[in-house]
Amino acid sequence: MRPLSPRNSILVQQSGQKLWTSATISPHPAQRGGSAKSSNCLNNDRMSLPASTRSLSPVICRRTSASMTSDLFDERIGALRRSRALKRGRELFLHERAFDDIHDRLSIVRRRFRSALLINCLDPAWPERLREHADMVKVIEPERVMEIEPGSFDLCVAIGWLDTANDLPGALLTARFALEGDSLFIGAISGGDTLPALRAAMRSADERMDAATPHAHPRIEPAALTNLLTSAGFAMPVVDVDRVQVRYKELADLVRDLRSMGATNILRARSGRPLSRAAVNSAEAQFLSGAEGGRVTEMFEILHFAAWTPAAPNNG
């Protein structure tokens, strides 16, 4: 049986979701529903605020992976950043939120899976939770996905893998060929509206430096992700947009969270030139210009997706 479409998706709207948080965030009930996009607002020292909603962005093509080169991201630096985050204490509040959502969606599928593939396991508790839905769970690191035997699994879960894939269409094809017929691919990826306040702050810094350099990773829009899933051979793709708002006292707090996520800039085209003090001050001033009540609201957009492989033809 096919699962219901994801909550707050383009096709189905359904209210209610628990927010899965890390130890640094005070747990609170999330507020979702009523729109194709939902927002949940947290403080950096993490008090909850009312949620707001907004419609799907009309900008579809600006931040897709279609024009990305094969060497867009520096994978070696990415591995070092993730290792550093693990040593200092990884911040997983967004990843845990995404996994909790996936777990809830799997709970409404009237089927037990034979074999699940978990790509990029960021929490050691995830495999055990997936065993509630699958007889066997195999964990694999992103750099080893090409070693997977075709058709080995009937469920694939991916969180934090596709965000920095140099070849996103190729990565989706890899997931497709790892699955047998009538199998589910489900996961989460950062969306195009992620980190608008940080991007504005970095543009202000660039003006002070008299040079424009890439600071923020390009992101994908919901419609583009749906098209890529279809192009990779998946059927009935559904993309659900979850906008999470986090409030910060200052820019340094946001940067600290990104470092703890292992999510700082790993673009190959990033500048090796350090920002001047004037540029840093300009970025901080721009960031704080949007403050309300002494805090700046930053946006993290999570695209939850689900799609099926076509059922194998019945020759009997």
| Both structure tokens of 233 | 């051979």
The CA distance from 70 to 77, in Å, is: 15
Parse the chain into domains and list their residue ranges: 37-197+218-275+298-308
Looking at residue 218, its pLDDT comes to 77
The architecture of the domain spanning 37-197+218-275+298-308 is 3-Layer(aba) Sandwich (3.40)
Q: Identity (one letter) of the amino acid at 34?
A: G
E strands, the chain, in order? 37-43, 113-119, 134-140, 153-159, 179-190, 235-248, 296-308
3-state secondary structure of 157: strand
Question: Which residues lie below 8 Å from residue 191, measured CB to CB, with a gap of 6+?
Answer: 219, 220, 221, 222, 241, 301, 302, 303
**Phi, psi torsion values for 65, nearest 5 degrees:** -90, 5
CB 183 within 8 A of CB 145: no
- Angle of helix 196-209 versus helix 251-261 axis, rounded to 10: 110
Question: Which residues lie below 8 Å from residue 221, measured CB to CB, with a gap of 6+?
Answer: 57, 59, 60, 61, 62, 63, 64, 191, 192
The CA distance from 142 to 181, in Å, is: 23
Summary count for the chain: helices (H), strands (E): 8, 7
CA Rg, the chain, in Å? 20
3-state secondary structure of 46: coil
Find the distance separating the first CA and the last CA of the chain, reported in whole Å.
Answer: 21
Looking at residue 13, its pLDDT comes to 26
CB 173 within 8 A of CB 231: no
Q: How does pLDDT run along the chain (316 residues), one tens digit per residue? A: 433 343 333 332 222 232 222 222 222 223 233 234 444 555 554 333 333 322 223 233 333 334 444 578 877 777 777 778 777 777 899 999 999 999 999 999 999 999 999 999 989 999 999 999 999 999 998 888 889 999 999 999 999 899 888 889 999 999 999 999 999 999 999 998 999 999 999 899 989 888 777 767 778 899 999 999 999 999 999 999 999 999 999 999 999 999 888 887 777 777 778 889 999 999 999 999 999 999 999 999 999 999 999 987 765 5
